[in-house]
Chain A
Amino acid sequence: MRIAVTLFMLFLFRLGISQAPPDTVYHLPGAVVKGDRFSLLPAGSLSDSLSLSRAKKYGLSLAGVLSENTSVFLREYGPAGLALASVRGTGAQQMAILWNGLNIQSPMNGQKDLRLLPAFFFEDAEMVYGSSAGLAGSGAIGGTLRLSTAMAALRGWKSDVTLAGGSFGMRAGGVSLSYGEAHYRGKISLYASRSRNDYPFLNTARNPPLADRLTHARLQQQGLQYQSTIQGKKSALDIHYMHLSSDRQLPPGIFESASQKSQQDAGNYVKLGWKRGGKDHYWHINAGWIAEKINYNDTSLNLYARNRSRSLVFQPDYSLTLNAKWMMRAGFFLRYDRAQLDPLSEDVDRHEEALLVSWVYTPDKKSMIHLNLRQGRSSQGIHPFIPTLAASRAFGKWTLKGKVSRHYREPTLNDLYWQPGGNPQLKPERGWAADLTLLFECSSDRHLLSGTFSAYANAMLDQIVWQPADGGIWQPDNIAKSYARGLEWQVQAASLKGPVRFRARAGLAFTRALRDRWSNELQMAFVPRWTGHARIEAAYRHWTLSYSHRFSGVRYSDNSNSYPIEAFDLGEMECARTFETGKTRMNAYARLSNVWNESYRVMPAYFMPPIAFYTGIYLHF
């Protein structure tokens, strides 16, 4: 099956090359004077604009969105456990996650569990690959996930309701209410989900394979999201608020006999934005407040860890159009993090400040060059100087993009202050990354074909690794070097034939992640060399039938490549029907996940769910 999918994807890609007609105008982003600093993130880089509609319908999290639509590899610790992103051979701490421009990676452990971010809350999501540390700051090394809750223009009242349910006690529901007029728009959303995750699985790590059932794996989560925008003639004020909380049992890994572990996560996120400007200049002032807590319990050990953090962020930008070809932007970044790390009795904190200056040069409508310089400092000292040079040029229906960027990652508060072991002497991780991307797109009234090919290299130095140290503890130090290089292909096709619509999409990624040196033959632990995804969809009148497939090649649980974790193929089928009555549109669906009933695991200790059935409705009125 894996071979068939690969051939299918390569076929589509070759088809794209052969059908790309020459010399038509490619629309460049131009002088992005009205956007904030993050509007320049995709400049020079491969990026995926992620469709959230299916995930909203299904009550899925962003973990599902990324795994189905991108080459991001998700390290899933079971159905209720962590789902951490690995982009281009890096780890979860080396991807920035921007919620309305605020990096919401935890200042305590430097990562965000994507399973706890419900797709229902977001209006837009974009995955930008490669280093963006010049704009997004610390940790934007392998990629940047950009999430937005900002609504498009709206008149009157609108509402969305989703209800989903299915195997292993999965229940999810969400409701949102929106209102918009000329000078105001706002939206409030509620979401909740529950899942028992008590599924059977075949433990193929045992000899002979053992039929088993997952226990102690309940997950429940809920959230509230609110956003409003007041639009003036030359200015706009917006506020975004999101509350997320979850309570989950952490199931025993297959190497353990039982588990009494659980974890509660909660977070409150506030962003205030103000922008004002005219024809050739613009102010963006964004401020944010983030509060998170992570409670970890293991009742078998009488272990109850309580960890909390608070963060304040302030990031003003001023953009100025100098002339028809030049735009300049200057901005500050100020962040203060404070945390209570159990068992420390006193709070710990850190601050970070940075100055950013960007120039955008658009010599013609087909070319753009972006230079960004960033210099920052933090409680730990002066940061590396971070230059970024990005460029793109259109050649008819083809576009070539490239980017070279330095990057860095601040140590987390756990790295610095965790007791025992925290090391306040840590320096930031640092390194360089380079990207080259080729895009093509051709379309007619009834057909569309587009694709991308990307190659990249990334060097990461002074990496922070925890290892045994004096006192019988583990302590982090800047000791490791790692390197990554790879290739990525993506292709999309759409066609309309009478009442029938076809769409297809496929992606393939080859990743080499290496410890210590470029020439290392061994692959770093938990990074597959090959991943891929594909989706085909046919729609006839109100009916839609689709099949999605993704696969991961072999990974290893060690850097010696002695302990392989099996490759896996996953298929998913969906049948949906849309009903429309007046202004009300309802979508009802049924879907089967893991249709081939593959017994698989992403991380060694957890087998994932077998074939499962889900159904639900989505109402928009």
Chain B
Amino acid sequence: MRNLTMIALVAALFAMAANCKKPLDPSGRQAFIKGETVFILNEGAFQQGNGSVSVYNKTDQEVENKLFQSINGENPGDVVQSMSIIDGQGYIVVNNSQKIEVTGLDSLLRMAQISGFTSPRYILKVGDKKAYVSELFGDSIAIVDLSSHSISGKIGIGGWTEEMMMHNGKVLVGNNSNAFIYVIDPLTDSIVDKIALLNQAKSMAHDSDGDVWVLCSGSFTGDLPHVYELDKNDFSIKKDFPLSGGYAGDLTANAAGDAFYFLNTDVYKFSVNDNQAPANALIPAGSHSWYAIGVDPANDELYLGDAGDFSSNGAVYRFSSSLSPIDTMQVGISPGYFLFY
């Protein structure tokens, strides 16, 4: 009988250990699990240093706010803009603190800091141990050495460089100050081409065929927003959807790459087969201040960041792929970026 009890006890311990898939980080916290984690970057209020990172666990359906602060004992900084995962580390771009925080991915523990930027916006890995960082005011793209976590050079581009993407071995850089997308060869760090559009290129995404879709934001001087489909080989314009007034952004593909969402005060959606812009909003803003869109590549769930009054905590609204509301979570001030890990 005693042996049977011991065997049962040992078996139970093994079973518990086998079920305990979630490793612990060095501080004893539950580490982030790939495929279950959504990083929500909250900009904070300008010059108040109250930007933050919230982390949503899809399995537990729990959100943890101010996680960077909890782990590192201080806020990430002023205007927490975007985040990328590069070589197993998180790169959090903090715009008005002119820095990038490099963190581990088990807990957001700070591993390094990259400083010396003017006003960084996005980071994109472009080669072995090399990344580009776009700048709001820097009139350049900063080249970052990922080994030393330092700026190794700059590529001069006038104006506000914004989102970037890799395309056939080249880097496409949107410029939100003029009407060009710049094509950079990351091997030589030189501009090899520029694609003329009607106005400011803010947001870019690939469709399932590899074509490039570009959202031009429009401007306060009266330029209307446009959506372009660019041929994947020669960047010729295949489609051009002028949008109604407003300020558009956050062009985001669904998991299959056959439809796109974007923000233009309200939330809109169109198919790659459409030949004109969507006439009606998918999700009207109403009393919300939609500030960011995220689409979970695993299940097509839609995440919308609501910045509210921009000086209070914001909220994230989650919808199923069929756009049924799922739930809402409170996050930090001005949730402006989603990263699915």
> Residues of A with Cβ closer than 8 Å to B?
205-208, 253-258, 300-301, 419-421, 465, 467-473, 480, 515, 525, 557-560, 562-563, 604-605
- Closest chain A residue to B223 by CB distance? A471
12 A–B contacts, CB within 8 A, in A order: A255-B47, A255-B49, A300-B137, A419-B220, A472-B218, A557-B48, A557-B49, A559-B312, A562-B313, A563-B48, A605-B47, A605-B49
Counting chain B CB atoms within 10 Å of each CB, the highest count among A206, A207, A300, A471 belongs to: A471
Given A256-B97, A256-B98, A563-B50, verify A473-B115 contact (CB < 8 Å): no
CB of A343 to closest CB in B, whole Å: 12
Partner of B48, one of A207, A420, A604: A604
CB of A252 to closest CB in B, whole Å: 9
- Chain B interface residue count, CB cutoff 8 Å, equals 40
Asked whether any CB of chain A lies closer than 8 Å to the CB of B96, the reply is yes
| CB-based contact B310/A468 at 8 Å | yes
- Closest chain B residue to A253 by CB distance? B47
Chain B contacts for A206, CB-based, 8 A: 74
| CB-based contact A472/B49 at 8 Å | no
Chain A contacts for B78, CB-based, 8 A: 253, 255-256, 605
Chain A contacts for B115, CB-based, 8 A: 257
Instruction: For the complex, give the distance between the alpha carbons of A480 and B74 in Å.
Output: 32
Counting chain B CB atoms within 10 Å of each CB, the highest count among A301, A563, A604 belongs to: A563
CB of A482 to closest CB in B, whole Å: 11
Chain A contacts for B220, CB-based, 8 A: 419-421, 470-473
- Closest chain B residue to A565 by CB distance? B48
- Closest chain B residue to A522 by CB distance? B312
- Closest chain B residue to A525 by CB distance? B311
CB of B112 to closest CB in A, whole Å: 15
Q: Helix, strand, loop or mixed for chain A's interface?
A: loop
Chain A contacts for B99, CB-based, 8 A: 257
Inter-chain pairs besides A557-B50, A559-B312, A560-B333, 15 sampled, C-beta below 8 Å: A205-B74, A205-B75, A208-B73, A256-B96, A257-B115, A471-B218, A472-B217, A472-B219, A557-B48, A559-B309, A562-B332, A563-B50, A563-B75, A605-B49, A605-B78
Question: How would residues 234 to 261 of chain B score, 1 for a CB under 8 Å from any chain A CB and 0 otherwise?
Answer: 0000000000011101000000000000
Q: Which 3 A-B pairs have the closest CB atoms?
A: A207-B73, A471-B220, A255-B78
Instruction: For the complex, give the distance between the alpha carbons of A142 and B44 in Å.
Output: 28
| CB-based contact B49/A604 at 8 Å | yes
Instruction: For the complex, give the distance between the alpha carbons of A301 and B49 in Å.
Output: 21
Instruction: For the complex, give the distance between the alpha carbons of A606 and B154 in Å.
Output: 31
CB of B103 to closest CB in A, whole Å: 14
CB of B263 to closest CB in A, whole Å: 11
Given A472-B247, A558-B45, verify A467-B218 contact (CB < 8 Å): no
Instruction: For the complex, give the distance between the alpha carbons of A208 and B110 in Å.
Output: 13
Asked whether any CB of chain A lies closer than 8 Å to the CB of B118, the reply is yes
Chain A contacts for B134, CB-based, 8 A: none
Partner of A470, one of B77, B265, B309, B310: B265
Asked whether any CB of chain A lies closer than 8 Å to the CB of B150, the reply is no
Instruction: For the complex, give the distance between the alpha carbons of A563 and B75 in Å.
Output: 10
Partner of A467, one of B96, B249, B289, B332: B289
Chain A contacts for B221, CB-based, 8 A: 420, 471
CB of B41 to closest CB in A, whole Å: 16
Partner of B312, one of A207, A301, A472, A558: A558
Chain B contacts for A467, CB-based, 8 A: 289, 309-310
Chain A contacts for B321, CB-based, 8 A: none
Partner of A558, one of B50, B97, B289: B50
Chain B contacts for A559, CB-based, 8 A: 309, 311-312
Instruction: For the complex, give the distance between the alpha carbons of A254 and B74 in Å.
Output: 12
| CB-based contact A257/B97 at 8 Å | yes
| CB-based contact A301/B47 at 8 Å | no
- Closest chain A residue to B79 by CB distance? A255
Asked whether any CB of chain A lies closer than 8 Å to the CB of B72, the reply is yes
Counting chain A CB atoms within 10 Å of each CB, the highest count among B72, B98, B220 belongs to: B220
Instruction: For the complex, give the distance between the alpha carbons of A258 and B98 in Å.
Output: 9
Chain B contacts for A255, CB-based, 8 A: 47, 49, 77-78, 96-97
Instruction: For the complex, give the distance between the alpha carbons of A605 and B75 in Å.
Output: 12
CB of B37 to closest CB in A, whole Å: 22
- Closest chain A residue to B244 by CB distance? A470
- Closest chain B residue to A298 by CB distance? B137
Chain A contacts for B48, CB-based, 8 A: 557-558, 563, 604-605
| CB-based contact B311/A470 at 8 Å | no
| CB-based contact A300/B118 at 8 Å | yes
Instruction: For the complex, give the distance between the alpha carbons of A207 and B137 in Å.
Output: 29
Counting chain A CB atoms within 10 Å of each CB, the highest count among B48, B72, B97 belongs to: B48
CB of A256 to closest CB in B, whole Å: 6
Instruction: For the complex, give the distance between the alpha carbons of A205 and B219 in Å.
Output: 37
| CB-based contact A470/B50 at 8 Å | no
- Closest chain B residue to A301 by CB distance? B137
Chain B contacts for A257, CB-based, 8 A: 97-99, 115-116
Question: How would residues 73 to 115 of chain B score, 1 for a CB under 8 Å from any chain A CB and 0 otherwise?
Answer: 1110110000000000000000011110000000000000001
- Closest chain A residue to B94 by CB distance? A255
CB of A557 to closest CB in B, whole Å: 4
Chain B contacts for A419, CB-based, 8 A: 220
Chain A contacts for B310, CB-based, 8 A: 467-468
Instruction: For the complex, give the distance between the alpha carbons of A559 and B116 in Å.
Output: 32
Instruction: For the complex, give the distance between the alpha carbons of A257 and B218 in Å.
Output: 32
CB of A90 to closest CB in B, whole Å: 16
